[in-house]
Copies of this chain bind each other. A is one copy, B any other.
């Protein structure tokens, strides 16, 4: 049984939940390796999961919410009573609060806000009003700012007095503001330490510090932190007033989340993340919504084959090569697609540089198409003893490779130009068009060459 417990933390967790001992529960959750808590929690049933959150002290419950994946946190908070959810949320950083409130059921969110401390609720509402992927939605409001009239001693005394209140704050910098709350400077703790205590803060602050606007988009924030080795950047409103701080870690988390979401979408997991602990019918329905679009596209592409059925009947060997050409073109197209996605992300191409990308792709497509075409032509020739069959499938694969790299290379740029989501649409567009072209090339060439193909096959 001991080894069982070691490898299956949820069994042990269930036992502790039954005992209802908050301290033991907290101690056990803390003893688990990072990630194991989320795993253990995911294996409990809904009632048990709620019991964990209601048994823990609010601060510990908030830490747990912070640690587990967003999709899991949302489901848990959705199931809590508004009062309990409010108590726990008050222990989260302001940006996390806003994220959770934005993700849970809207009506429940209102109930939770109503149950929160009015000032905290007002803060949360404000953050929550920003889009989640701009500075306003990513910032925290836990920062320290002091008037420009202060000295180093004033700042240090305030820090000393409110050391408990500021315990949650990630104090690396403090900000200096004008009477109108306009951002005037940044003060590094180390400069506070290193100067005589009666120095005015305006003399040791870094004046006119870099800042971002509340509506600065995530991509720009990512580029900002790539460019500057800062831990955080102050956020100002239209009037230049300091309203929050965006931390590097939160920007990196948000970029990571978006990359994960793009990956899932590109693989056909659409409409939200899927975990296997979710209800079967929800998982099935979400997957089907994507598959049913694809099956229609597939039928459209395959109708090209139906059109050439007589040719195919005359040279049945062609049927072997249709899926090969479809799949190989897909591979070539995906390579070009990946390079475009990557170059766009790195900023090495701009979405309007279609001609440049196409020229770069078509030259690779020409070389690789000819190489692959010769390979498949030789295969067909050796297998069927008919050089014309090789000529047909080889030429078709060569041409279709060029089509595939062109589409793969350009589709992400075009989708970006027309502001569509490349992760979602690139794959189906690529597959459908290359399949149609590939089937058309093989079968129309075969139709032209029919006398030579049937002569010896």
Binding site for B on A (CB under 8 A): 33-36, 38-39, 42, 67, 69, 156, 159-160, 163, 170-172, 189-190, 192-194, 223-224, 226-227, 229, 231, 248-249, 252, 255-256, 259-260, 263-264, 267-269, 273-277, 280-281, 283-284, 287-288, 290-292, 294-295, 298-299, 301-303, 305-306, 309, 312-313, 316-317, 319-324, 326-328, 331-332, 334-335, 337-339, 341-343, 345-350, 356-357, 360-361, 363-364, 367-368, 371-372, 375-376, 379, 383, 431, 435, 439
As for how many copies of this chain the complex holds, the number is 2
Q: Report if A38-B302 is in contact (Cβ < 8 Å); known contacts: A295-B324, A431-B327.
A: no
Name A280's closest neighbour in chain B (CB-CB). B363
Name A276's closest neighbour in chain B (CB-CB). B360
Distance between Cα atoms of A35 and B225 in the complex (Å): 11
Cβ–Cβ contact A192 & B194, under 8 A: no
For residue A338, which residues in chain B have a CB less than 8 angstroms away from its CB?
263-264, 267-269
From B35, B224, B260, B321, A347 is in contact (CB under 8 Å) with B35
Cβ–Cβ contact A170 & B322, under 8 A: no
Distance between Cα atoms of A190 and B162 in the complex (Å): 12
Cβ–Cβ contact A309 & B317, under 8 A: yes
Name A71's closest neighbour in chain B (CB-CB). B346
For residue A159, which residues in chain B have a CB less than 8 angstroms away from its CB?
190, 193-194
Smallest CB separation, A33 vs chain B (Å): 7
Name A30's closest neighbour in chain B (CB-CB). B227
Distance between Cα atoms of A454 and B274 in the complex (Å): 44
Cβ–Cβ contact A334 & B267, under 8 A: yes
For residue A295, which residues in chain B have a CB less than 8 angstroms away from its CB?
324, 328, 372, 375-376
Cβ–Cβ contact A194 & B348, under 8 A: no
For residue A34, which residues in chain B have a CB less than 8 angstroms away from its CB?
223-224, 226-227
For residue A332, which residues in chain B have a CB less than 8 angstroms away from its CB?
287, 291
Cβ–Cβ contact B328 & A326, under 8 A: no
Cβ–Cβ contact B156 & A171, under 8 A: no
Smallest CB separation, A303 vs chain B (Å): 8
Cβ–Cβ contact B291 & A343, under 8 A: no
Cβ–Cβ contact B364 & A39, under 8 A: no
User: What are some 25 contacts across the A-B interface (CB < 8 A)?
Assistant: A34-B224, A35-B347, A38-B346, A38-B347, A67-B226, A156-B193, A159-B194, A189-B193, A229-B249, A231-B231, A264-B338, A269-B338, A273-B342, A275-B339, A275-B348, A276-B357, A287-B332, A287-B364, A288-B371, A294-B328, A305-B323, A313-B313, A323-B323, A323-B435, A327-B431
For residue A375, which residues in chain B have a CB less than 8 angstroms away from its CB?
292, 295
Q: Report if A348-B276 is in contact (Cβ < 8 Å); known contacts: A193-B193, A335-B269.
A: yes
Q: A274-B342, A276-B357 are in contact. List 17 more A-B contacts (CB 8 A).
A: A34-B224, A38-B347, A38-B348, A39-B350, A69-B348, A259-B259, A264-B342, A269-B338, A273-B342, A275-B339, A298-B327, A302-B320, A306-B320, A309-B320, A312-B319, A319-B319, A323-B323
